[in-house]
Structure 1
């Protein structure tokens, strides 16, 4: 099995056309099969307004793609017996219950499986109990969440959680491993073993000159405003640690993580993460439940509503033709993560293919779905 080179050239041409028409500003992409890179490209601008061209070693604020790295820490904790899918949040974070006894009806039921599958019933909000000025301190976020109530019974609905679920997972992992800081935990358990030397939660000072600023092109009437995202230029900085949105990385480092997923947790002949954990993570956990957030996104364009197709922390391609970021021609077993309007990776375990894509210029989410459906389909069409 291999790739059609002419079709991969069409992928590059399509990316450049998007940039030329001002759809987004710049892209770094890697497409590989069996770990062998078939396409690696750098296009357009890291910052269009200043004419700064994209470079391969650009450092991106990857928004919700950060959740993938938090997932990785949880996968290790599951592999090592430090957590179970049935572990309740309050078993590790008792103050999550808050002081109102009426919260007992829902919050005491939320477990790790609910967090991973976006079925916790917690609000689908980008603000985890406090605003952006407080995002960077995980302890303050967790304290604030004690006063935030569940809005649905756990396990009854899929509603993508932009912040709360992964904030809780990051804190659960920090506590069971006994670390003072989540950023150090992810470095020791994921980034350092994989050689991801340009990746961190926060932004080390020595990488500030390579960082790509968040520039947003969204519908003012959409779910998120430009200010909701561009404010993160100041928040994803220094030693701030946000397990849901706060990682910075490069295309090559992200590819190392995606390759670990393709290899089902194997690294240099040893299992960094249990194979069975990755296989179960890549299996749809949410049945026929729809994804409430993306149902709204699709309805705004007159598109069919998508099923949730949530695994353990990842989205699975699944069957059907409702628009999503994988498109209808990537293998149904493919799985991955994405970040608002800008980033995506997926692993096709059947064809042994990985797709890693970081871009500058944050799109409206419906535009982002359209873009990634189109590009993912073109990559799928290149597999021969």
Structure 2
């Protein structure tokens, strides 16, 4: 990769920060596993010009879904259940109506037909997994037939997957214990935790929205504010609840880039990782982000969803992974602020965690620009 071309990324980020598009962020670009760019840009406190640090701890929002998806695939490899297993077989309370036919394949590909809800019951606490599962089973029913459409699931799918992994665990561990002992500790993710671990609190950047998010709240039992769930040490939220750093997310992506293994820790089989690069939603659009695109006058992008990840695909459209990455590029975003992707053709990895949750359209344009700048540094 060309260092001069990579050097254009920081000024591009600084210009957006100067325009107050976001406050700051940490970015990393690597090729063949070698880190070629790792910089902290902007501020953790923009008003007082306090710079952001490379080891800043972020609430990674929906990037958590990648961890839960990998944990689910790991459980499938171990024979705890299958892609074709109906969720209601593992969670009997999740029965009644069309939802009884939803499988783990549907959950992993966002084709379950469940509604795009952020909170099963408005105003409820979301930091306790058992309470969220109880609310889902009592209140959340299908909006479409399983497999009929691609509707990105902000909460329900990964809450159900986390609970299924817990219920079928032969050691009867909690979701947190399973995640720590299966992924976090084996990969050496020292600054990553389910919930906000006490020793990470001083480096944590509290989420801050740059737009009016309306009634959306993330409430925790300690009543720490409208987004207090992200500050709960004991929170178990398999859809948004992990805290981490750019360096740790890079180690996680290295496991994926290397076919499921990193530093001697085998998390997935290469067979499974290869399968995650196949588009399972051909001909579909993403109902959630398609609506956002239409609102901005854009052509809705194809869904491009695999079992556990988003894919780049081959259409020229507004896309966080850029317009020049290869079609099999795969990764995951976190609401208006977080992104990683891996381009298996060019063997390039991109990780950026940022402070200041942007409105989604602005965020797509921001990451599309940075992703294109990163991938076109390959010479």
Alignment TM-score, normalising by the size of structure 1 = 0.93
Asked if 1:194 is matched to 2:183, the reply is no
Q: Taking structure 1 as reference, are residues 93 and 226 closer, same or farther at Cα in structure 2, changes over 3 Å only?
A: closer
Aligned CA distance change for structure 1 residues 111 and 131 (closer, same or farther; 3 Å): same
Shift in alpha-carbon separation, 1:122–1:193, aligned structure 2, 3 A: same
> 1:83 Cα deviation (Å)?
2.2
| Corresponding residue of 1:313 | 308
Alpha-carbon distance between aligned partners in 2 of 1:375 and 1:350, rounded to the nearest angstrom? 19
Instruction: Confirm or deny that 1:330 pairs with 2:325.
Output: yes
Structure 1 residues 131 and 189: CA distance shift in structure 2, 3 A = farther
What aligned pairs does 1:289-308 form with structure 2 within 5 A after superposition? Answer: 289-308=284-303
8 A Cα contact 2:57 2:205, kept in partner: yes
State the 1:325 CA deviation.
Answer: 0.6
How far has the Cα of 1:270 moved from its partner?
5.7
Mapped to 1, the partners of 2:50 and 2:215 lie a distance apart of: 21
Aligned counterparts, 1:125-274, within 5 A: 125-127=117-119, 129-131=120-122, 133-147=124-138, 148-177=140-169, 178-218=171-211, 220=212, 224-225=213-214, 228=217, 231-269=226-264, 271-274=266-269
Measure how far apart 1:50 and its partner are: 4.3
SS of structure 1 residue aligned to 2:93: helix
Distance 2:52 2:265 in 1: 35
Q: Please identify which structure carries the higher helix content.
A: 1
Contact persistence 2:26–2:246 (CA under 8 A): yes
2:278 aligns with 283
Residue 137 of structure 1 and its aligned partner are, at CA, apart by 0.7
Distance 1:225 1:62, change over 3 A: farther
Q: Cα distance, 1:253 vs. partner?
A: 0.6
Which digits, 9 at most, give the CA deviation of each residue in 1:108-152, with x for residues without a partner? 10000000000111110111x234642111011111111221111
Matches of 2:113 and 2:371, distance apart in 1: 31
Alpha-carbon contact 1:47-1:212 (below 8 Å) kept: no
Mapped to 2, the partners of 1:213 and 1:179 lie a distance apart of 33
- Among 85, 88, 101, the alignment partner of 1:109 is 101
Q: Which runs of 5+ in 2 are unaligned?
A: 219-224
Retained in 1: the 8 A contact 2:113–2:143?
yes
Q: Which runs of 5+ in 1 are unaligned?
A: 98-102
Instruction: Give the C-alpha shift of residue 313 in structure 1.
Output: 1.4
Contact kept, 8 Å, 1:216 with 1:226, in 2: the verdict is: no
CA distance in 2, matches of 1:226, 1:35: 42
2:229–2:235 CA contact under 8 A, matched in 1 = no
Other-structure match for 1:100: none
Cα deviation per residue 1:230-255 (whole Å; 9 max; x = unaligned)? 83244442111100011100111111
Question: Normalising to structure 2: TM-score of the pair?
Answer: 0.94
Between the two proteins, the alignment pairs up a number of residues equal to 371
- Give the Å deviation of 1:228: 3.4
1:14 corresponds in structure 2 to 12
